[in-house]
Amino acid sequence: MHSYSVRDVERVLRLSRGTIRGLISGGFVKPARGPRRQYRFSFQDLIVLRTARALTLAKVSRRRISRSLEDLRRHLPETMPLSGLSICAVGDQVVVRDGKSRWQVDDGQYLLELDVRVDDGVLRVVERKGESDPEPEDPRDWFMEGLELERADPRAAQEAYKRAVSVDPSDSAAWINWGRLLHEQGGTREAESVYRRALSQCGPDPLLMFNLGVLLEDLGRTGAALDAYQTAIEEDPSLADCHYNLARLYESLGKPQHAIRHLGQYRRLVTTDNH
């Protein structure tokens, strides 16, 4: 059975370590211990932690929270169902359903609604604030999540960058990282599509054009790669790696004068950076 570390809980539930420790010491959840005595949380623990935090912020009494969480544990499966979960807590009553069910309650009652799902292997727990008052997403959060996931789960990192640009299409860094990961994973055609979409949203960003040039080289499209590199250094003449790639390409095309010029510029930039 899959378990989660404290860091996983911080990332997935957006809870601080202090909050996690407080909920553990309050008896709301009792995580297992790993071989080094580190906390290991089950899927059920994650949902209980998120629910306890939401109920606490709503100033629900400790007694009612405990009763709700006991009820919640009885209804929760041990692992995430493929269809996801919808959880509704109204006062002391907790309802757990598969899919995207909706609940309606009388005014004046505290309502907790959680959507729990897995997107490309990443567990997400979202509290619904109501259809008329959605909570805005911060693209910086998605971007930072992508950075954290790159080594451990590149596909999930791609999804995070995709969400970042869906919120802020002008986020060139997220577009670049998304395309780079696709390229590294062998998805060259998909990467080119991402870079082209990024250009339409962000314009000729120098790093975007450089990455596109590298991709076009790998696809054997030397002329298009040269154009991309040239655009990149027009936008930012200090891109040393871009001058190096241009020098290498021009040498392979039998244009030594162009190659020498860019190689000289590359060396000047590298020398300057090292001093």
Q: How confident is the model at residue 209 (pLDDT cuts 50, 70, 90)?
A: very high
For residue 244, what are the contacts with CB-CB under 8 A and spacing of at least 6?
262, 263, 266
Q: pLDDT tens, 48-66?
A: 887 777 777 666 677 777 7
Q: Could you tell me if 64 and 114 lie in one domain?
A: yes
pLDDT, residue 243, reads: 93
Residue 141, domain member (yes or no): yes
| Cβ neighbours around 20 below 10 Å, total | 20
pLDDT, average across residues 91-115: 52
Task: Report the mean per-residue pLDDT for the chain.
Answer: 78
Q: How confident is the model at residue 251 (pLDDT cuts 50, 70, 90)?
A: very high
Q: Find tokens 């997935």 and name the residue.
A: 12
In 60-198 the beta strands, taken as DSSP E runs, fall at: 85-90, 93-98, 111-119, 122-127
Number of folded domains that form the chain: 3
What distance in Å separates the CA atoms of residue 90 and residue 126, rounded to the nearest whole number? 17
| Cβ neighbours around 2 below 10 Å, total | 10
pLDDT, average across residues 212-226: 94
In a 3-state reduction of DSSP, which class is residue 127?
strand
CATH of the domain at 16: 1.10.1660
Residue 132, domain member (yes or no): no
Q: Could you tell me if 163 and 56 lie in one domain?
A: no
- What percent of the chain shows pLDDT beyond 90? 31
3-state helix, strand, coil in the chain (%, to 5): 55, 10, 30
What distance in Å separates the CA atoms of residue 110 and residue 29, rounded to the nearest whole number? 22
Q: pLDDT tens, 162-184?
A: 988 988 898 899 999 999 999 99
Residue 50, domain member (yes or no): yes
Boundary (domain end) residue, out of 174, 203, 232: 203
Q: Containing H/E element for 33?
A: strand 32-33
Half-sphere exposure in the Cβ direction for 1 (13 Å, CA): 11
In a 3-state reduction of DSSP, which class is residue 18?
helix
Q: Find tokens 């390409």 and name the residue.
A: 249
Q: Could you tell me if 109 and 79 lie in one domain?
A: yes
What distance in Å separates the CA atoms of residue 173 and residue 227, rounded to the nearest whole number? 21
What distance in Å separates the CA atoms of residue 17 and residue 21, rounded to the nearest whole number? 6
Asked if residue 269 has pLDDT above 80, the reply is yes
Nearest to 169 by CA among 180, 161, 158: 161
Least confident of 61-70, 210-219, 230-239, 240-249: 61-70
Q: pLDDT tens, 122-158?
A: 556 666 554 443 444 567 778 888 888 888 788 888 9
CATH of the domain at 261: 1.25.40.10
CB burial of 222-239 (b: ≥16 within 10 Å; e: otherwise) equals eebbbebbebbbebeeeb
76: domain range? 6-127
pLDDT, average across residues 186-194: 94
Q: Could you tell me if 169 and 192 lie in one domain?
A: yes
Residue 42 contacts residue 19 (beta carbons within 8 Å): no
Q: Could you tell me if 116 and 141 lie in one domain?
A: no
